[in-house]
Amino acid sequence: MTVRTLTLDGEPVSAREDETILDLCREHGVPLPTLCHLEGLSAVGACRLCLVEVKGSPRLQPACTLRAEEGMEITTSSDRLRRYRRQLVELLLAERSHVCAVCVANGRCELQEVAAAVGVDHVRYPYRHPVTALDASHPRFVLDQGRCILCTRCVRVCDEIEGAHTWDVAGRGAGARVVSDLASPWGRSDSCTACGKCVQVCPTGALFEQLQPAGGGVKRREFLTFRTRAREQGPWGR
């Protein structure tokens, strides 16, 4: 396998040809915030929080989809990047109804963690307070659109791991919503297997189990490691 040599925050590092810059950062202990990325799922660069500067390129590029190339000079932390990440998190918080005190994910929310990591202590933008739906039609789970950040983890895990493809994104821009079975109520879905994988990978309180109290949402993602290893090694590890 070809090995590439590049510079990461001023330090020379080596990378495999199939490694992304995000892989490289995690390998070398360089912190990069992410919300859409989850090990075991495909990378889509949806949240844009892992953007980095590449010398010679005028554009910021997402580290989760950017492949390591020979001679690259990567900067992961600069005033420009810090301002950009803080702005992104503030916009996410202002876009929908993220009231942490009454959320099932309070204290275990990745959006909360990222907000603290990038230094968000207030939001400078007006809150939109959109009218969003709460779908409690499923006998086990609930979808709260007001807490969704459109990371598409639920879409990808349902498609790539469970193979049901119950979830998708409908609409554009501020009107985009995660929907099940062409926007039918979740409880009436013909494709949903009720496996709960989408609930476990959700980074916020948008998907949760029925009757969970505020702060009671514990995520269990061990299945992703198991399924990823099985996929790499062949059918069920053989």
Position 131 in a domain: yes
Average pLDDT over residues 201-221: 82
Q: Minimal CA–CA distance to 218: which of 194, 195, 236, 202?
A: 202
Position 66 in a domain: yes
pLDDT at 179: 97
The domain of 113 spans 83-229
Residue 164 scores a pLDDT above 80: yes
The answer on 206 and 135 residing in a single domain is: yes
Q: What is the CATH number of the domain that holds 127?
A: 3.30.70.20
Position 118 in a domain: yes
The total number of structural domains that make up the chain: 2
Residue 42 scores a pLDDT above 70: yes
Per residue in 86-114, pLDDT (tens digit) is 999 999 999 999 999 889 999 999 999 99
Q: What is the CATH number of the domain that holds 26?
A: 3.10.20.740
Mean pLDDT of the chain: 92
DSSP string, 116-160: HHTT-SS--S--------EE--SSSEEEEGGG-----HHHHHIII
